[in-house]
Structure 1
Amino acid sequence: MQRRTKIAVLGAVLLLVTGATGSAMAYGTDSHPHREAAALTGTAKLYRVAGDDITFSFDAHLAAKDNANPLKATGTFRWSHYAANSEGGWAKAKVDCLLTGGRVAVVSGVITDTDLTGVKGHRVGISVHDTGGVDRLGYSWAASEDMGPKDLPKCISAAPFEKVKKGTGDFRVVPWQPGF
């Protein structure tokens, strides 16, 4: 009888320790110091009736140590847009700001590499809504015929108005917890 009691107590202690450790890791407390403060990752194609090939990819991160300053975000994002006749281009930007809330992210960056004329050095912003189904995306140049103003403020974009092509979106947004 005494042996059964010891085994039951030991089992209960192990369950409590395992549960507490798992809960702490899930919430990103100090027992899991590598959790990012915010992130936007993934790739998707936009849906267009005309059949344009439009792809956006993100690898943007805000380290936990920089939680108080989304302007310290790092990484890159890139996109390409080719019409059915193969005309179009691509660009890559270096991240300079990342803000996330729930399943929505806004990232901005400066174009560092591209085959488009006259846009290298321009800041652009992109928004993503990670719906868990058909994701959505928006971009700062939506209402303009070019990439927009070179001096666009950091972390500015249009609402995520475009639908991602079904079956292509794997965006993942890590929500920011600013702590104020």
Structure 2
Amino acid sequence: MKRRTKIAALGAALLLTAGAAGSAVASGEPERPAGEPREAAALTGSAKLYRPGHDISFSFDAHLAAKDNMHPEAASGTFRLRHVFPDGSSGWARARVDCLVTGGKVAVVTGVVEESDRWPKGRRVGVTVHDQGRHDRLGYSWAGQDPQKGDVAPCLSSAPFEKVKAGTGDFTVLPWYPEYGES
């Protein structure tokens, strides 16, 4: 093979490889070893909410394994919240994830409170995250909830009505693609 042909073939191969890698990065999909299935859905990251006079932070590490794609209630992980109120009082909680669904850049996660100094242990709470880059939003299901009236249902939360404080949100939502089979 002539030298020019070899150089052209090598250049084409490099461009194809770079293009494939670039499209994976552009899609927002995390890189993984070849042949390894991606997890079915995920919500990771943390942020502080924008609410004057309050210091509110959330962090998430929620995952749905590929083998559990059609079973969002098999999700695992934790999420945490901390809230310092304007009067200086505070509260924190850690919840064990019990359901996760995502669609595009929106995730809904529920979990059972396992540790807390303020909120009832054993209660299910829900959080919704909208990953919008620098303008993330967050909502939660227990706003105004009467502790005597029970839990929220799995994978149920409110619209993401709270703004995330500028410069603090680093949420990553991995979209869920349920497989329903042939129609």
Q: Assess same fold via TM > 0.5.
A: yes
**Quick one: which of 46, 51, 65 aligns to 2:49?**
46
Task: Find the counterpart in structure 2 of residue 143 from structure 1.
Answer: 144
**Quick one: which of 66, 69, 78 aligns to 2:68?**
66
8 Å CA contact retained: 2:125, 2:151: no
Distance 1:88 1:9 in 2: 64
Provide structure 1 residue ranges, at least 5 long, that are not aligned to the other structure: none
Distance 1:162 1:35 in 2: 30
- Aligned ranges for residues 1-180 of structure 1 at < 5 Å? 2-16=2-16, 18=17, 22=21, 31-49=34-52, 51-116=53-118, 119-144=120-145, 146=147, 149-180=149-180
8 Å CA contact retained: 1:97, 1:108: yes
Letter of the 1:22 partner, please give it.
A
Instruction: Give the root-mean-square deviation of aligned CA atoms.
Output: 2.6
- Matched-pair identity in %: 59
Return the TM-score normalized by structure 2: 0.84
Deviation at 1:6, TM superposition (A): 3.3
Distance 1:163 1:21 in 2: 35
Distance 1:134 1:23 in 2: 24
Return the TM-score normalized by structure 1: 0.85
The count of residues paired between Structure 1 and Structure 2 equals 176
Deviation at 1:143, TM superposition (A): 3.3
Deviation at 1:152, TM superposition (A): 2.0
